[in-house]
Structure formats: C-alpha cells, structure tokens
C-alpha cells in the first residue's frame, strides 16, 4: 500500500520499527516527554485513501497499537502514555492514549500529506529500542483518482 507514516514533509523517511516511536521512547526514558511531528500520505498523486468501512463518509483514524502490553502498559496517570494531536498545542489538552481523525480521505501527492503530532511520555523504562508501540490506522482503501 502506498499510504503510510513518514518522519518528513517530503515523505522520504518512512516510519518503521527503528524510527519515530522507538526513538521517542529511547529519548523519553527517565521522566521527560518527547514531541514528534509526523505525516501520513503517499507520494503517488494518482491515488487516494479512504476508510474501508464506509469510503468517503467514515473518518480515517490514527492510533497507536500496543503489540506487547507487558513491556509498556499505557497508564494515563503515571505513564507511559502517548498523546496524538493535529497540532502541537493540542498535545497539552488532548486525552492521553487517544486516537485522532484526519478526514474522510487523504489524496496522494506530497502536498496533500496530513501532518499530526505524537507525544510520548515514558517515566520509568531505561532508554532502549522498544518495538511494542506502532502507529496504525483503521482499515483503509487505496483507490485510483
């Protein structure tokens, strides 16, 4: 699938298990939080994506999937936790361990990528490469324009 998560506005650095969330957890260990700006999109301008459940009507939703809850059990009070937001200011007021909606469709092409922010707070774990939190969307369809 051509649509995915990226670390840069030009959609040249895809997010994978060795990048954004793991870097954030690695940096945040010890009581701080880290904010990361991310993008969702595709360089292919001949495509668009929509929610598979009801294309063009239902929202595309971004969330974090905890693939191994034994490592980093999300705890909205004491951490670790994440916050997702459409802009950096909303990281201070959005609920912890949340999802965000980015619209009913995302058009392909670099200029159409949707940006959003991720805050990771990890107060206890020592810095390491943790591979249990991954960015994900609800089921999406990719269609030709």
Q: Could you tell me the domains of the chain?
A: 4-144 (2.60.40)
Confidence of residue 135 (pLDDT cuts 50, 70, 90): confident
The larger pLDDT score, comparing residue 28 to residue 93, is at: 93
CA-nearest of 89, 107, 73 to 35 is 89
Cα separation, 56 vs 107, in Å, equals 12
Kind and range of the H or E run holding 135: strand 133-137
Confidence of residue 123 (pLDDT cuts 50, 70, 90): confident
pLDDT of 62 reads: 96
Q: Are 104 and 51 in contact (CB under 8 A)?
A: yes
Q: Looking at residues 50-68, what average pLDDT do you find? A: 91
Q: Is the pTM of this model over 0.95?
A: no
Kind and range of the H or E run holding 21: helix 20-28
């Amino acid at each position: 699938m051509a649509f995915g998560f990226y670390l840069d506005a030009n959609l040249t650095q895809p997010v994978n298990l060795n990048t954004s969330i793991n870097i954030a957890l690695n940096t945040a260990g010890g009581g701080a939080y880290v904010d990361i700006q991310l993008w969702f999109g595709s360089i292919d301008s001949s495509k668009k994506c929509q929610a598979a459940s009801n294309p063009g009507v239902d929202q595309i939703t971004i969330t974090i999937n905890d693939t191994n809850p034994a490592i980093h059990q999300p705890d909205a009070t004491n951490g670790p936790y994440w916050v997702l937001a459409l802009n950096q200011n909303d990281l201070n007021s959005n609920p912890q361990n949340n999802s965000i909606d980015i619209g009913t469709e995302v058009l392909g092409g670099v200029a159409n990528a949707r940006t959003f922010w991720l805050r990771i707070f990890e107060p206890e774990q020592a810095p390491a490469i943790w591979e249990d939190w991954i960015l994900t969307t609800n089921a999406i369809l990719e269609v030709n324009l």
